[in-house]
Amino acid sequence: MFAGLASVLTGIVLYVFLRTNIGTAMRAMGDNSQMIRALGVSDGNMLVIGLALSNGLVAVAGALLAQYQGFADVQMGIGMLVWGLASVIIGEALVGPWQLGYAITGAVMGSILFRQLVAIALRWGLDPNDLKLITAGFVFVALILPGLVARLRRNKTSVVTA
């Protein structure tokens, strides 16, 4: 319960922060660092703020996980980068990166969906080592799916207009 509340609160604070001037400049830095420099914003400062924010969020997540499980181990985070990336890619494929609120919602939805798919795979008795292949398959589908949907929409509109 506490972890869920902390996650929701962290998401709300992150959403509010990313809509401030500094948050907008930091997001713009990720899109086009040359433009940020041309506007007179220090790209180095934005990079440091972004790294500090991301490392702080990772620390909060690690603290919540250690509190939930009752222990912490150095090897606990191995492979989490790939799982996190897969979650974000799946969420972006589902929702799209149109606006900030959609991007955050998509990342959360992608994380929930990806974890559910992994839980189903483990429940079916698949070897945990095979999860690397399953993860690669999920990411592949998530990367291909938006392009296929866009192509189908273009073909559908071209058939209708022709």
Domain residue extents for the chain: 1-73, 79-162
- End-to-end Cα, the chain, rounded Å: 55
Whether the predicted pLDDT of 128 surpasses 80: no
Identify the CA nearest to 87 among candidates 76, 99, 78, 95.
Answer: 95
- What mean pLDDT is predicted for residues 88-116? 79
> What pTM, to 2 d.p., does this model score?
0.58
Whether the predicted pLDDT of 162 surpasses 70: no
Exposed e or buried b for every residue in 49-83, given b needs 16+ CB within 10 A?
A: beeebeeeeeeebeebeeeeeeeeeeeeeeeeeeb
**Above pLDDT 90, what percent of the chain?**
5
- The pLDDT confidence band at residue 29, using thresholds 50, 70 and 90, is confident
- The pLDDT confidence band at residue 158, using thresholds 50, 70 and 90, is low
Query: Residue 160: its pLDDT value, please?
Result: 58
The residues, any chain, with a CB within 8 Å of residue 114's CB and separated by 6 or more, are: 83, 86, 87, 90, 138
- The pLDDT confidence band at residue 48, using thresholds 50, 70 and 90, is very high
Query: Residue 64: its pLDDT value, please?
Result: 82
